[in-house]
């Protein structure tokens, strides 16, 4: 008899429709996801703030200017002006040399054109000699 009852229970269990039921309520699952997201955002913000604080400390040290004496500043300014004047004079000398070289090239081209023209108008030397 126990076997018959067991087979009847088994038969009714196999023909029912089953659906999955969540173990935790949906509100608890949503709260857990919100908590995980909030903690992730807090850890990320802390990391960014630590990185920014580290970068700010190194940048502040490298950008601080040492106090400069007025006399030293004027001496450096005078030295810089002198270097600028020397650079301008050197550029002017190079430009003058380049202009002179361009004039020489133009003159030599004119002479070459003249000589090419002279060689074309002369009769050939072997054609001028009479044949026997």
Structural domain contains residue 105? yes
Structural domain contains residue 50? no
Structural domain contains residue 108? yes
Checking 58-65 for CB contacts under 8 A at 24+ apart, the result is none
DSSP-assigned states of every residue in 64-112: PPPP--HHHHHHHHHHHHHHHHHHHHHHHHHHHHHHHHHHHHHHHHHHH
pLDDT in tens, the chain (132 residues): 455 556 666 767 777 787 887 788 888 989 999 999 999 999 999 999 999 988 877 655 566 677 778 888 899 999 999 999 999 999 999 999 999 999 999 999 999 999 998 887 766 556 555 555
Structural domain contains residue 132? no
Write the pLDDT tens digit of every residue in 103-126: 999 999 999 999 998 887 766 556
Structural domain contains residue 97? yes
| Total domain count, the chain | 1
Q: Which residue range is the domain that position 103 belongs to?
A: 92-117
């Amino acid at each position: 008899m126990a076997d018959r009852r067991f087979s009847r229970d088994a038969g009714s269990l196999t023909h029912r429709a089953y659906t999955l039921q969540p173990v935790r309520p949906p509100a608890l699952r949503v709260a857990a996801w919100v908590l995980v997201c909030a903690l992730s955002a807090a850890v990320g913000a802390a990391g960014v703030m630590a990185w920014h604080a580290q970068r700010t400390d190194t940048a502040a040290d490298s950008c601080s200017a040492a106090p400069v004496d007025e006399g030293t500043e004027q001496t450096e300014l005078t030295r810089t002006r002198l270097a600028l004047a020397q650079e301008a004079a050197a550029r002017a000398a190079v430009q003058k040399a380049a202009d002179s070289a361009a004039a020489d090239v133009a003159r030599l081209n004119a002479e070459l054109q003249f000589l090419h023209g002279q060689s074309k108008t002369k009769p050939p030397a072997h054609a001028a000699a009479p044949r026997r």
